[in-house]
C-alpha cells in the first residue's frame, strides 16, 4: 500500500507570487524634486499613515502573548525533552534495554544500565539523557523498536549548568497517569506510519 504525505509546494519562484514593483524614475533636476515633494504633500500620504496606526489602536486587536502566563500551542511532533512510555495493557515499561538508542545517539548523551530480573527478563535500571549535549535530533525515538523512547512537549529546560540530566523516573509515564489514559502516543519521529497495519502481511506458512 502506498503512503503519500500531502505535499505543499513551497517553491515560490515557480508560482507567480513575485512581481516587479513600480519604481518611479528618480528626479534629477531641482524642479523635478520640488514637483515630487509637492505631489506627495498634496496626496496626503502622511494622513494614510496616521489613519492606519489609529485604526489599529481603535480595533485594539492585541497580539501580545504574556509568555510565562500564556503559552503558544506547540505541534504534536515537536521534539523536546524525552518521555519513556509504558505498555497500554499491562503497564510494563516498553523499553527492553536493547541499547539501540544509546548506540545511535550522535551526541553520545544517553547512558543506560540493565540487569536480568527474576523472570529472566531484561530490565532497565538506569536511563539518563544529558540534555546539555542532546541536540533533539530524534534518532533515538526513530530507532527504538518498541516505541519506548519518544519526544515530549516540555521545552522549558534551562539549567544552571551545562550538563543536566533527565533520568528514568522523570521520563517514565507514572502508573496513575497511564490508568487515567493520559499517556499519548507520539506522532513524530519513529511513529508508525498511518495505515501500516494494512501493509503487514501474514507470513505464509510454506513448510
Partner 1 sequence: MDVAFIIETIAKIVVILLVFSALAGLGTYFERKVLAFMQRRLGPMHVGPFGLLQVAADGIKLFTKEDIIPQNVVKPIFKIAPVITAATAFMASAAIPFWPQFTAFGYTVHPIVADINVGILYVLGVMAIGLYGPLLGGMASANKWSLISAARSAAVFISYEVITGLSLLAPLMMVGSLSLVDINNYQVGGITHWIVWSQPVAFVLFWIAAFAETGRTPFHLVANDHEIIDGFGTEYSGMRWGLFFIGEYANMFFISFVIAIIFLGGFGDGTIAGAFQLLLKVAFFFFFFLWTRAAWPDVRPDQLMWLCWKVLMPIAVLNIVVTGIVMMF
Residue 29 Cβ vs partner 1, minimum distance, rounded to whole Å: 14
| Cα separations in angstroms, 94 against 97, 146, 147 | 9, 6, 7
Answer yes or no: are the C-beta atoms of 105 and 140 closer than 8 Å: yes
Rg (alpha carbons) of the chain, rounded to whole number = 29
Does residue 171 touch ligand SF4 according to CB under 6 A? no
Among 46, 52, 135, 193, binds ligand SF4 (CB under 6 A): 135
Task: Please name the residue that has the C-alpha cell 500620504.
Answer: 45
Residue 130 Cβ vs ligand SF4, minimum distance, rounded to whole Å: 8
Pick 51 or 155: Cβ nearer ligand SF4? 155
Task: Please name the residue that has the C-alpha cell 523635478.
Answer: 32
Does residue 153 touch ligand SF4 according to CB under 6 A? no
Count the Cβ atoms, other than its own, within 10 Å of residue 4. Answer: 5
Does residue 173 touch ligand SF4 according to CB under 6 A? no
Among 81, 85, 140, 166, binds ligand SF4 (CB under 6 A): 140
Distance CA 104, CA 17 (A): 43
Site mask for partner 1 (CB under 8 A), range 62-91, x = bound: xxx-x-------------------------
Burial grade of 196 (CB within 10 A; 0-12, 13-18, 19 or more): exposed
Strand-pairing partners, residue 82, are: 151
Does residue 191 touch ligand SF4 according to CB under 6 A? no
Q: By CB under 8 A, name the binding residues for partner 1.
A: 34, 37, 46, 49-50, 52-54, 56-57, 60-64, 66
Q: By CB under 6 A, name the binding residues for ligand SF4.
A: 95-101, 105-107, 109-110, 129, 134-140, 143-144, 146, 148-149
Amino acid at each position: 500500500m502506498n503512503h503519500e504525505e500531502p505535499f505543499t509546494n513551497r517553491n515560490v519562484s515557480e508560482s507567480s507570487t513575485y512581481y516587479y514593483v513600480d519604481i518611479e524614475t528618480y528626479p534629477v533636476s531641482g524642479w523635478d524634486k520640488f514637483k515630487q515633494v509637492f505631489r506627495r504633500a498634496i496626496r496626503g500620504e502622511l494622513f494614510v499613515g496616521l489613519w492606519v496606526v489609529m485604526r489599529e489602536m481603535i480595533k485594539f486587536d492585541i497580539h501580545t502573548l504574556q509568555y510565562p502566563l500564556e503559552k503558544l500551542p506547540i505541534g504534536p511532533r515537536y521534539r523536546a525533552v524525552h518521555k519513556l512510555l509504558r505498555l497500554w495493557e499491562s503497564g510494563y515499561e516498553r523499553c527492553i534495554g536493547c541499547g539501540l538508542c544509546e548506540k545511535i545517539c550522535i551526541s553520545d548523551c544517553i547512558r543506560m544500565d540493565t540487569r536480568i530480573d527474576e523472570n529472566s527478563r531484561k530490565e532497565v535500571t538506569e536511563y539518563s539523557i544529558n540534555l546539555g549535549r542532546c541536540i533533539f535530533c530524534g534518532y533515538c525515538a526513530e530507532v527504538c523498536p518498541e516505541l519506548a523512547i519518544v519526544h515530549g512537549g516540555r521545552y522549558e529546560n534551562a539549567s544552571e549548568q551545562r550538563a543536566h540530566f533527565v533520568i528514568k523516573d522523570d521520563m517514565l509515564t507514572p502508573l496513575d497517569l497511564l490508568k487515567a489514559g493520559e499517556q499519548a502516543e507520539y506522532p513524530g519521529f519513529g511513529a508508525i506510519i498511518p495505515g501500516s497495519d494494512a501493509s503487514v502481511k501474514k507470513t505464509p506458512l510454506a513448510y
